[in-house]
Amino acid sequence: MGYNIEVSFNIVKHGSVTELQNKIQELARESICNFLYHTYEFENNTQYKRNHCLFTINFDSEHEIIHNFIYFIKNIKKMNGLYIESIYDENVNILLYASKYYQTQFMDTYLAKNYKQNKRSRSYSEDHIHILSELEK
């Protein structure tokens, strides 16, 4: 249980995919993640061509450890070409953040509309506020 974050990057735009993968893995381990894995997405739609490597990384949700997760987000945002696709809290089953691409391509239109409405109206815990404020910086 904890937070799942999905991070992606375009493998065509990066010269050394292995080097970037190693940097992400090193940063995740430095931030004390529970587990991580990566996969590849290849879509050749006429509207969206996607050749991305997608990392899914899990962190504990204990209040003392949440700072490691925020540290990870800060450093991921500093790296060029990396995109945070989604952040999901497994403890309360809430999608905290979903990128525009994630909303249009992976969510049903009903769920995406519901996500946008709930994002404005729901109340957040202290940890959620810290995470979301770091994403907005």
* CATH code of the domain in which 36 resides: 3.30.70
Residues spanned by the domain of 98: 3-136
Total domain count, the chain: 1
Average pLDDT on 91-101 reads 86
pTM of the predicted model as reported, rounded to 2 decimal places: 0.85
pLDDT digits (tens, 9 = 90+) for 112-137: 888 877 777 777 778 888 888 888 87
CA-to-CA distance for 21 and 89, rounded, in angstroms? 24
- Tell me what pLDDT residue 104 has: 81
pLDDT, greater one: 88 or 65: 88
